[in-house]
Amino acid sequence: MKGVRHVILKLPIRYKISIIMIVILFTSITLISSLLFNKEKAILLSEMKKRGSVLSKNLANAGFEAIINKDKLISSDIIIEIMKDQDIIYCMILNNRNRVIDSSVPEEINKTLRDEYTRSISKLDELTIINQEHDGQEVLDIIRPIFIEYKHKKIKKGYIRIGMGWDIINAEIKKAQTYTIFLAFFFLVIGVTISLVFAKTITDPILKIVRVMEKVGQGDLEQRVDISLIDEIGKLAGAFNEMIQHLKEKLMMAKYVSKSTMEMISHKDDSKLELGGRRKTVTLFFSDIRGFTSYSESKTPEQVITMLNKFLSIQAEIIDKTGGSVDKFVGDEVVAVYEKGNMVENAIKSSVLIQRKILDLIHKGEDEIAIGIGINTGEVVMGNMGSEKRMDYTVIGDTVNTASRLCSNAMAGQIIISESAYLQVKGKFKFKRPIEISVKGKKEPIKVYEVIY
């Protein structure tokens, strides 16, 4: 049972729709064909009974003469005429004692029929048609009583029996049945074809949507569902195209905002996006290109932009791989935030990888660009800053300012970290002897460490 259910569930929608339509169509055609066939059969049987009634009525007038006046001349002629019809099996006139007065079978004349059936039908007082068997053949036995008027009363003197065979009517019924079956098969074939075409018109757009969805799932956001329908499927296609556009806009927006901003938005609805922040311990990464001003003076704006994008991209990629999140780009400066886990260690690893990558590019003959990096860890205020209509999810505080000052003091190729950062990674990296430097905003000099890589 499970296997059958699995096969049914696995069937394409077009075949499911086709099968349902075919079953409905087949059932409808079968019912209609059965009704038509039964109606045709009833009409044929009715016509047969009418003809038998007329024949028996004609013979009844002659039968009166044969029974009362012993004149069988007319009745014999009528019997001969009636027997010319191929579907007439027998024809006879009987009196009240069931003696055959005249018959299509001469041997039966003057015989008295004593069987139970004959005794029962002799009591009938009105035209009756009975389906019965005669000599192994199915016949319609038409019985019509013969009356005479005596003192204003009807007195039964005998009755007429005409047997009509079913062979001809069966042939007509078979012919009607064959025609009905052919007609049903013809319409069934047309119906199946129409159902398959109809199912295809429904499923083709759906398959088109599925194919586009698969490509979108693979990252191709240039795909669009091109369907001209204006029904529910057309609305589905339109909604899907809008979804792709929104997804494309969201992915494009992700390039303009930090990873932490995207994560914050994904966990809140629009009604909960409000100004303000909360205290959090993070690690700040600041980097700045050394000699950028002099480089810009000797290059065209296009060359400067190309160089800047290249070196910012290198840093952003490494920061992302080491668990950081680029908070913003400020000219030639990169600001990144590391949260949770080994955030100081990850920030230093990122810095080492960046410096080594820059040296590798210089050795390959690229632009001789150098970077200074400053790292600090501590408590900041992280949240939405700005106005109700335009806000920025970022970090502020003394920890941020100190990290920026460390970056400003770092020479080309240097990675300088604060003492708070050093205490968390002591023994994991090599450092030069600590030195004390004066930074803007601090009354006392601060101790810093340079990472050896």
> Which residue type sits at 167?
D
Q: Which of 14-18, 276-280, 356-360 has the lowest mean pLDDT?
A: 14-18
On whether the CB atoms of residues 22 and 198 are closer than 8 A, the answer is: no
Res. 276 pLDDT band, cuts 50 70 90: low
Mean pLDDT over each residue of the chain, to the nearest integer: 84
The more confident residue out of 403 and 250 is 403
Which ranges constitute the DSSP H helices of 255-386?
259-266, 292-298, 301-321, 343-363
Domains of the chain and CATH, by start: 2-171 (3.30.450.20), 271-452 (3.30.70.1230)
Assign 139 to helix, strand or coil.
strand
Q: How far apart are CA 158 and CA 143, in angstroms?
A: 10
CA angle (55, 60, 62) in 5-degree steps: 105
Residue 223: the pLDDT is 78
Whether the per-residue pLDDT at 353 is higher than 80: the answer is yes
Strands (E), 202-275: none
Mean pLDDT of 300-319: 91
Percent share of the chain, pLDDT over 90: 33
Give the pLDDT confidence score for residue 221 in this predicted structure.
77
- Count CA within 13 A, CB hemisphere, residue 238: 8
Looking at the chain, the number of H-run helices and the number of E-run strands are: 12, 14
Among 232, 231, 212, CA closest to 222: 212
- Read off the pLDDT of each residue in 315-320 and give the average, rounded to a whole number: 95
Kindly state the average pLDDT of the residues 259-265: 54
Shortest CA distance to 79 belongs to which of 95, 106, 103, 52? Answer: 103
Q: Which tens digit of pLDDT belongs to each residue from 172-198?
A: 778 877 887 887 788 878 877 887 787
pLDDT bucket at 1, cuts 50 / 70 / 90: low
What confidence tens digit (pLDDT) does each residue in 19-72 have? 787 788 788 878 887 887 788 778 878 888 888 888 888 888 888 888 877 888
pLDDT of residue 271: 45
Q: What does pTM read for this prediction?
A: 0.51
What is the per-residue pLDDT across 429-449, written as a single tens digit (0 to 9) for each? 999 999 999 888 788 899 999
Helices (H), 69-92: 73-82
What band does 254 get if pLDDT is binned at 50, 70 and 90? low
Residue 428 has pLDDT above 90, yes or no: yes
- The pLDDT of residue 143 is 93
